[in-house]
Structure 1
C-alpha cells in the first residue's frame, strides 16, 4: 500500500532547499528568500522531517553537498516550483493583452523556445509572441532598430552601454564526434558560423595563440549545420556542452586543443519595448534558463 502524506510538500520548504542547493550556502539562500539563516536551516530540518531522509550534508570546509535523495529532490523541486509559480501567476496576475516581439538565434530556440512559449501561452493566453530566429548579430541589429522588444544573444554581440540580463555563464568547449577523432588532425578542420560569430572568433584566436594550424572546413548560420559534419567525423566545432546531440562529446580541458574561455548568454530589452508584456516574457525566459539543470553543470 502506498502511504500518502495528506499535508503534501510545502513549496516554501522546497524553495529554501533549492536555493541552498543552487547557492551552496545557507547565508546566500537566506538573502534570496529574505529570511534569517537560522530560519532557513529550520525549513530544511522540517523538510527532512517530512520526507524522513537527509537531503543536505556539510562537507569539508563547511561546503554544502546534496545526498542522493537531495539530488533526486532538487530536480523534482524545480519542476514543482515552476508549476506552482505558473499557477499562482495565472490566477493572481492581472490579465495582460498585446504582442511582444522576440528575437533569438536558433542555437537557443530549439532548446528553450517550445517550453517558454508553452508556459507563457498557458499563463497569458491573450498575449501573442512574434518570434524571429536569426544569428545574434542580426537579432541585435533588429532590436537596436526598434523591430524587436526582446533579444536573446551570445555575449559579445551586445551594444556598448546597453543594459543586459545575464541568463547564463559557463564554459565553451571543443565538440567532437564520439566515434571519430577529427580533433587529432593537423590542421584541425573546423565547423563554425560565419565571420560575425563571437564563438568563431574565440576559437580561431585560441588556436592561433596556441600555435595550432587549422582550416575552416564548414560554415553554417545554424548550430545544427555545424553539428552535422562533426557527427560525421569531418570537423570539430565549439559550443556550451549542455546542448550536444547524441553522437557528440565535449573535449576535456587541455585534451589536444587549447582551452576556451567562458561565455555568456544574454537577454536584451529594446529601448522602447511594449509593456507590460515584455517584462513578463523576460521573466519567463530568465526562469527557464535558471531552472535548466544542464546549465548548472560546468
Structure 2
C-alpha cells in the first residue's frame, strides 16, 4: 500500500489567499506571483486531492466548493504548525520584554498577524500592548515608557525619527441599517480634540459649507463606532475591516466631502531594548505591507 502524497505548504498558502481574496490576482499580489501562476497552483492542488476546490462565483469572484470549505480550516491549522516549527528553528534566540503602543484602530488593522508571527519566532519575549490616542502615545515615548509605537501622522515630534508604515484613504463610516449620513445637520461621532482625523473631518465639512453637530465624542475608534452602529451618527475611519453593521461611504456619496489620506507612522523609543524591538518592528512592517497590497494602498 503506497503512502499518500504530502501537501506542499506553498500550495496550501496560495489556496488560503485565494479563499480569502476570492480573486486570483489579489491572492497572487500577497505572495508576489502572477494570476496565471496562482491559477496553476490551484489546478495542481485539485489534481493532488482529486477534488474540485474552487468555482466561479458572481461576477469575477471565486467561491469554495464543499471540499474547498473542508480544506480551508484544516489548511490554516496545518500552516500555523508548519510556520511555527520552521520559525522556531530559524529565528535567533531572543528573550526579554518590549512595550508596544498603538491607537486601538491600528491594533485591529495591523497587529494580530504581526503578533502571531512574532510569537512563533520569539516565544520567550513578553509583549506589553498599550492602546491610547496618538498624542498620549507620543508623550509616553518621550517619557521612556514605550519601546515602539504606532501613531497617526500629525502627532509626531519634530526631530524624532519616524518611519512611514502605511498610507491609505480615510472614509466616512455610516450604518448599513440606518442613514444618519442623510440627516441635516450631520451628526458626528469623533475622537477628542487633538485627533488629526477629527480636524480633517471638520475642516472638510467647513470648506464644503455643510452643517453638522458633534453628537458623540470618544477617546477610541471603537467608542466612535458604537453610535454609528446604532444609526445615530457617522464617523471617519479606515474603510476596511469594519464591524458588521457599518459601511464606508463612497467618495462624494450624498455630498460629503472627500477626506485626506491617513498615514501610520512607527517610532522607536530612545532607549528601546535591542534586538527585540527591531524584530517586532520588522514583523509589524511586513504585516502592514501585506495589508497595503491587499487593500491597494501605499506602503
Report TM bin, short chain.
0.7 to 0.9
Shift of 1:131: 2.1
Give the aligned partner of residue 260 of structure 1.
Answer: 259
What root-mean-square deviation, in Å, do the aligned CA atoms of Structure 1 and Structure 2 show? 4.1
Give the aligned partner of residue 100 of structure 1.
Answer: 98
Shift of 1:242: 1.6
Paired residue for 2:216, among 218, 227, 232? Answer: 218
User: Does structure 2 retain, via aligned residues, the 8 Å contact 1:164–1:269?
Assistant: no
Give the aligned partner of residue 20 of structure 2.
Answer: none
User: Does structure 2 retain, via aligned residues, the 8 Å contact 1:13–1:44?
Assistant: no
Give the aligned partner of residue 124 of structure 2.
Answer: 126
| Distance in 1 (alpha carbons) for counterparts of 2:119 and 2:41 | 35
1:37-48 equivalences in 2 (<5 Å)? 48=43
| Distance in 2 (alpha carbons) for counterparts of 1:226 and 1:172 | 15
Give the aligned partner of residue 279 of structure 2.
Answer: 280
User: Does structure 2 retain, via aligned residues, the 8 Å contact 1:289–1:295?
Assistant: no
Render the CA deviation track for 1:232-265: whole Å, top value 9, x for unaligned.
2221101112232222121111111111122122
Relative distance call for 1:286 and 1:181 in structure 2 (3 A) is same
Relative distance call for 1:9 and 1:47 in structure 2 (3 A) is farther
Give the aligned partner of residue 243 of structure 1.
Answer: 241
User: Does structure 2 retain, via aligned residues, the 8 Å contact 1:182–1:233?
Assistant: yes
Relative distance call for 1:82 and 1:144 in structure 2 (3 A) is farther
Relative distance call for 1:10 and 1:181 in structure 2 (3 A) is closer
Shift of 1:205: 1.1
TM-score if structure 1 supplies the norm length?
0.74
1:136-151 equivalences in 2 (<5 Å)? 136-151=134-149
Shift of 1:186: 1.7
Task: Tell me the SS of whatever aligns to 1:179.
Answer: coil
Shift of 1:197: 0.5
Render the CA deviation track for 1:57-109: whole Å, top value 9, x for unaligned.
xxxxxxxx98668xx89x99999777655432211212111111111112233
Give the aligned partner of residue 191 of structure 1.
Answer: 189
Shift of 1:229: 1.5
Shift of 1:165: 4.0
| Distance in 2 (alpha carbons) for counterparts of 1:259 and 1:229 | 22
Give the aligned partner of residue 6 of structure 1.
Answer: 5
Relative distance call for 1:81 and 1:164 in structure 2 (3 A) is farther
1:21-40 equivalences in 2 (<5 Å)? 21=25, 29=32
Shift of 1:8: 2.0
Shift of 1:5: 6.3
Task: Tell me the SS of whatever aligns to 2:240.
Answer: helix
| Distance in 2 (alpha carbons) for counterparts of 1:294 and 1:42 | 18
Relative distance call for 1:120 and 1:238 in structure 2 (3 A) is same
Q: Gaps spanning 5+ residues in structure 2: where? A: 18-23, 55-59
1:14-93 equivalences in 2 (<5 Å)? 21=25, 29=32, 48-49=43-44, 51-52=46-47, 84-93=82-91
Render the CA deviation track for 1:259-286: whole Å, top value 9, x for unaligned.
1122122322223321111112122223
User: Does structure 2 retain, via aligned residues, the 8 Å contact 1:104–1:151?
Assistant: yes
| Distance in 2 (alpha carbons) for counterparts of 1:232 and 1:149 | 37
Give the aligned partner of residue 59 of structure 1.
Answer: none
Render the CA deviation track for 1:164-196: whole Å, top value 9, x for unaligned.
141x32221111112222111222111100111
| Distance in 1 (alpha carbons) for counterparts of 2:128 and 2:238 | 27
Equivalenced residues, count: 276
Paired residue for 1:109, among 101, 107, 110? Answer: 107
Q: Gaps spanning 5+ residues in structure 1: where? A: 31-36, 56-64
